């Protein structure tokens, strides 16, 4: 049990590091590759849970369904779809970020520190492992949010949203060892639909505005 | 029986894709909406007699009590009226070649899918499923907001989907934390995420985790409700969507998100045994929303945007009512949910007629509304007075309850600010919008006469409803509201 917790601890830190790598990227293809890496780590977490349940308790938990869903959707399907979108869309936006990279990384460090402080003030999380898992998950969510607001290309916003969802799944799996199956399935399909709809809108933005620079969407004010 | 609530919209939405004949689509649309109305009224009656309805499927996933009944009543009535008005609206746009037959089918099927997701939100007690449905409402209405596919619509739809999805993702974090506190205190049970289970065992849930969970849920669902400072998507989405959809978005969708907040607030209040924490947060967000709306209404050039900011204001008032948590203010807030829904839908439907006739949304290009469309013009004029809180319309009664409760609790600053903002909003509405009604149309040929029959019929129905409920609240409705209020306050205070 302790070894399980140690392995999960290592994987969750790797996910956090991959979030930092995402912020430090500059090109759209690297965004997608880093997201794929993060999803692979998440899938490994799900796999470890299901293997643990198979070996220790001798039964097949629902987590194995989640493992297959993560692998098929987040590692294979969604990154491929995003790649096809980026190929079809004209990305001549010069400087993609509002804040330059070194300062972004420092801001992300600040976010992790802030999360650590906030969770340490929540007095009722007794388990040391749980509190750390919660800190890493919420940090990944906040870094995903920061990524979303600091990039000008519409694809960056979709990737940021997907990273936020990765953080959610991390939180759900690590702290509560999985929410009820119907909820997890529903969340997956909701997110898939959200990404597909956002993809459609990226096409429409590209057609109407001749670029996917979010800064150009300024008609509605006041 | 609750399952019928879902089967009817699914069947309607799917069957619209089978046919290419516009008449059949209109008939399917209206029949589906009417059947839904009938089933909802029946269910509301059942709840008033029996208290709580549950079905045993999937560990009591469907749960229906008086609070759900209030929101269901509003949703189904306005859904029916909007479906009725949509036929006239889309027919007119089809006649002008703005939409073709495929777009018509997309519109009507998405309309029913949208209503389905809202119904799913209010009849489930599984907090995860509630989250899934609220996210699904965003997805179902994204294409409806971006329906017209020009630059402003696409921008509005993109803002809508991004801001609402991110906000709702934070709400998911809150729900995960809520489930975490339930697992931590009571172990992993299959009922662990159901509202009833959490509500009954609220005393054993850990307080500080619930506090953090409530903050995330308030910010998350608050984005969907339109509380400032998370409201930035609302004016764009509500003004760029087609008018029947704006009526649904404004009158019904904001209520379902507020329903989510109120459910979690009930659990947290019961656990902490006081409403100081949730009350303060709701009061602050509420008063900031009303203030933001007041400031922006004073400088508007677009009448649909003005109505959208007014929605922000009214949602702020409802949040204020829930934050104060006295019996009077909860009653006022619930009553306000109903009143705002009817009044705002009426206004958006009237504005839809104005848009069809004058083909513009700018205030300074519309003149002589009472001359060109008497019914729409007079209803719109009455509606402006109604929405800013003038007696004898219903919004006056609910706002008066909330103001009285606020003074009664000793929150003089909040009440004074509320009154100030209400006065500013009234002033903004009158100075900006009154020029639209009198005189004669100055631009091109605006023919006299209403555009179709369904528009004025729906408008007059809604006007009658808000006038009558302003003067006399039917006793069954009053008992329903009181019962719902007891559920929310959870015996605290």
pLDDT recorded at residue A125: 73
Residue B424 reports pLDDT greater than 70: yes
Query: Is A145 in Cβ contact with B161 (below 8 Å)?
Result: no
Start-to-end CA span in chain A (Å): 56
Q: What is the pLDDT of residue B126?
A: 87
Alpha-carbon gap: A134 to the closest alpha carbon of chain B (Å): 9
Partners of A130 on chain B (C-beta within 8 Å) are 180
pLDDT value at residue B59: 67
DSSP per-residue string spanning B382-427: HHHHHHTT-TTSHHHHHHHHHHHHHHHTT-HHHHHHHHHHHHHHHH
Test B193 with A179 for CB contact under 8 angstroms: yes
pLDDT given at position A1: 72
Chain B partners of A205 at a C-beta cutoff of 8 Å?
A: 154, 158
**Distance (Å) from the alpha carbon of A22 to chain B's nearest alpha carbon:** 18
Distances (CA, A) of B439 to B367, B377, B379: 6, 12, 17
The tally of domains found in chain A comes to 1
Q: Angle at which helices B254-272 and B327-358 pack, to 10 degrees?
A: 170
pLDDT higher than 60, residue B493: no
Decide if B235 and A125 are in contact by the 8 Å CB cutoff: no
| Residues of chain A below pLDDT 50 | none
- Is the separation of the CB atoms in B178 and B218 below 8 Å? no
DSSP symbol at B436: G
Rounded mean pLDDT of B173-185? 89
Range of the domain at B438: 2-489
When CB atoms are compared, the residue of A130, A145, A186 closest to B128 is: A186
Residue A109 belongs to a domain: yes
Residue B214 has pLDDT above 80, yes or no: yes
- The 3-state DSSP composition of chain A as helix, strand, coil percent (nearest 5) reads 80, 0, 20
Average pLDDT, chain B: 88
Average confidence (pLDDT) over B295-303? 91
Does B189 have pLDDT greater than 80? no
Task: List beta partners, residue B53.
Answer: B64
Question: Is residue A191, in this structure, part of any structural domain at all?
Answer: yes
- 8 Å CB contact of A124 and B161: no
Task: Please give the average per-residue pLDDT across B159-184, as a whole number.
Answer: 91
Greatest alpha-carbon span in chain B: 71
Q: Dump pLDDT digits (tens) for B222-240.
A: 999 999 899 999 999 999 9
- Alpha helices per DSSP H over B51-126: 57-60, 66-95, 101-123
**Of A108, A172, A117, nearest to A140 (Cα)?**
A108
Q: Which of the listed ranges A86-90, A189-193, B449-453, B464-468 does the model predict with the highest average pLDDT?
A: A189-193
Q: Which residues of B touch A121 (CB under 8 A)?
A: 208
The answer to whether residue A30 is domain-embedded is yes
Q: How far apart are CA A216 and CA B9, in angstroms?
A: 38
Q: What is the mean pLDDT of residues B269-284?
A: 88
pLDDT at B10 over 80: yes
Q: Specify the pLDDT at position B116.
A: 92
pLDDT at position B282, please? 93
Q: How close, in Å, is residue B206 to chain A by CA atoms?
A: 6
Angle, helix B412-433 to helix B394-408, in steps of 10 degrees: 150
Distance CA A146, CA A75 (A): 22
Contacts of B134 in chain A (CB under 8 A): none
What is the per-residue pLDDT for B203?
Answer: 84
Question: What band does B374 get if pLDDT is binned at 50, 70 and 90?
Answer: confident
Tell me whether A128 touches chain B (CB under 8 Å). no
pLDDT of residue B343: 93
Q: Using the beta-carbon criterion (under 8 Å), do A204 and B146 form an inter-chain contact? A: yes
- Identify the CA nearest to A179 among candidates A74, A48, A61: A61
Tell me which chain B residues have a C-beta less than 8 angstroms from the C-beta of A117.
Answer: none
Preceding omega of B392 cis (within 30 degrees of 0):
yes
| pLDDT value for B366 | 86
Q: What is the pLDDT of residues B314-365, one digit of tens each?
A: 999 999 999 988 888 999 999 999 999 999 999 999 999 899 888 888 888 8
Backbone angles phi, psi at B340, to 5 degrees: -60, -40
d(CA B443, CA B451) in angstroms, rounded, equals: 18
Round to whole Å and give the CA distance between A153 and A8. 34
Instruction: Kindly identify which residue of chain B lies nearest to residue A165, measuring between CA atoms.
Output: B169
* Greatest mean pLDDT among A99-113, B10-24, B58-72, B474-488: A99-113
pTM: 0.92
B128 vs A218: which has the higher pLDDT? B128
Domain count, chain B: 1
Nearest residue of chain B to residue A204 (CA atoms)? B154
Using 50, 70 and 90 to split pLDDT, how confident is the model at B213? very high
Q: Which residues contact B212 (CB under 8 A, 6 or more apart)?
A: A118, A122, B174, B177
Q: Give the per-residue pLDDT at B291.
A: 94
Most confidently modeled range among B376-385, B449-458, B465-474:
B376-385
Q: Does a structural domain hold residue A146?
A: yes
Distance from CA of A85 to the nearest CA of B (A): 16
Cβ distance B154 to A123 less than 8 Å, yes or no, reads: no
Flag if B212 and A198 touch (Cβ within 8 Å).
no
Minimum CA–CA partner of B157 in chain A: A201
pLDDT attached to residue B444: 65
Residues of chain B above pLDDT 70, percent:
97
pLDDT at position A92, please?
64
A173 interface with B at CB cutoff 8 Å: no
CB contact under 8 A, A201 and B157: yes
**pLDDT band per the 50, 70, 90 thresholds, residue B252:** very high
Question: What pLDDT does residue B430 have?
Answer: 92
Q: How confident is the model at residue B48 (pLDDT cuts 50, 70, 90)?
A: confident
CA B117 to chain centre: 13
pLDDT, mean of residues B243-265: 92
Please name the member of A164, A171, A183 whose beta carbon is closest to the beta carbon of B128.
Answer: A183
């Amino acid at each position: 049990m302790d070894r399980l917790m140690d392995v999960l601890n290592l994987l969750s830190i790797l996910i956090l590091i991959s979030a930092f790598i995402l912020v430090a990227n500059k090109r759209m293809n690297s965004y997608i590759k880093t997201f794929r890496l993060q999803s692979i780590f998440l899938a490994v977490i799900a796999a470890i849970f299901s293997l643990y349940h198979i070996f220790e308790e001798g039964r097949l938990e629902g987590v194995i369904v989640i493992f297959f869903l993560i692998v098929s959707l987040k590692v294979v399907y969604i990154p491929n779809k995003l790649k096809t979108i980026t190929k079809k869309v004209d990305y001549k936006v010069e400087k993609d970020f509002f804040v330059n990279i070194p300062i972004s990384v420092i801001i992300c460090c600040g976010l992790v520190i802030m999360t650590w402080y906030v969770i340490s003030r929540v007095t009722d999380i007794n388990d040391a492992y749980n509190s750390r898992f919660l800190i890493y998950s919420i940090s990944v969510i906040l870094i995903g949010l920061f990524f979303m607001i600091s990039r000008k290309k519409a694809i960056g916003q979709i990737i940021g949203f997907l990273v936020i969802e990765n953080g959610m799944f991390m939180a759900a799996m690590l702290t509560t060892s999985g929410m009820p199956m119907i909820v997890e399935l529903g969340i997956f399909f909701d997110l898939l639909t959200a990404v597909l709809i956002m993809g459609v809108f990226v096409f429409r933005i590209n057609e109407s505005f001749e670029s996917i620079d979010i800064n150009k969407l300024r008609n509605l004010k006041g | 029986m609750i399952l019928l609530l879902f089967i009817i919209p699914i069947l309607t939405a799917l069957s619209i894709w089978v046919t290419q004949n516009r008449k059949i689509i209109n008939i399917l649309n209206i029949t589906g909406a009417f059947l839904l109305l009938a089933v909802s009224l029946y269910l509301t009656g059942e709840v008033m007699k029996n208290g709580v309805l549950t079905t045993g499927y999937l560990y009591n996933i469907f749960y229906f009590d008086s609070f759900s009944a209030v929101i269901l009543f509003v949703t189904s009535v306005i859904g029916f009226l909007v479906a009725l008005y949509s036929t006239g609206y889309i027919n007119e746009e089809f006649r002008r070649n703005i939409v073709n037959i495929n777009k018509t089918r997309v519109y009507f099927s998405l309309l029913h899918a949208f209503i389905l997701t809202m119904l799913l939100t209010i009849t489930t007690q599984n907090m995860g499923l509630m989250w899934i449905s609220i996210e699904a409402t965003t997805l179902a209405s994204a294409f409806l907001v971006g329906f017209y596919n020009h630059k402003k619509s696409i921008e509005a739809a993109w803002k809508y989907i991004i801001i609402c999805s991110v906000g709702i993702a934070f709400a998911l974090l809150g729900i995960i934390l809520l489930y975490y506190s339930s697992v931590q205190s009571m172990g992993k049970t299959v009922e662990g995420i159901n509202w009833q289970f959490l509500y009954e065992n609220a005393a054993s849930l850990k307080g500080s985790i619930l506090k953090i969970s409530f903050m995330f849920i308030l910010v998350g669902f608050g984005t969907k409700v339109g509380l400032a400072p998370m409201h930035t998507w609302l004016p764009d989405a509500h003004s760029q969507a087609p008018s029947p959809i704006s009526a649904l978005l404004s009158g019904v969708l904001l209520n379902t998100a507020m329903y989510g907040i109120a459910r979690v607030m009930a659990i947290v209040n019961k656990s902490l045994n006081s409403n100081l924490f949730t009350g303060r947060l709701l009061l602050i967000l509420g008063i900031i929303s009303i203030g933001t709306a007041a400031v922006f209404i004073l400088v508007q050039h677009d009448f649909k945007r003005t109505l959208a900011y007014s929605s922000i204001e009214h949602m702020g008032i409802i949040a204020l009512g829930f934050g104060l948590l006295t019996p009077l203010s909860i009653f006022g807030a619930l009553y306000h949910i109903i009143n705002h829904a009817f009044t705002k839908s009426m206004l958006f439907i009237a504005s839809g007629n104005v848009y069809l006739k004058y083909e513009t949304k700018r205030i300074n290009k519309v003149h002589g509304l009472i001359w060109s469309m008497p019914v729409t013009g007079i209803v719109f004029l009455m509606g402006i007075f109604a929405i800013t809180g003038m007696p004898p319309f219903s919004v006056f009664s609910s706002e008066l309850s909330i103001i009285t409760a606020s003074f009664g609790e000793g929150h003089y600053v909040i009440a004074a600010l509320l009154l100030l903002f209400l006065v500013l909003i009234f002033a903004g509405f009158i100075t900006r919008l009154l020029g639209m009604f009198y005189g004669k149309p100055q631009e091109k040929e605006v023919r006299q006469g209403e555009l179709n029959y369904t528009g004025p019929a729906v408008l007059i129905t809604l006007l009658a409803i808000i006038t009558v409920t302003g003067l006399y609240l039917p006793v069954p409705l009053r008992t329903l509201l009181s019962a719902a209020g007891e559920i929310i306050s959870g015996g605290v205070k």
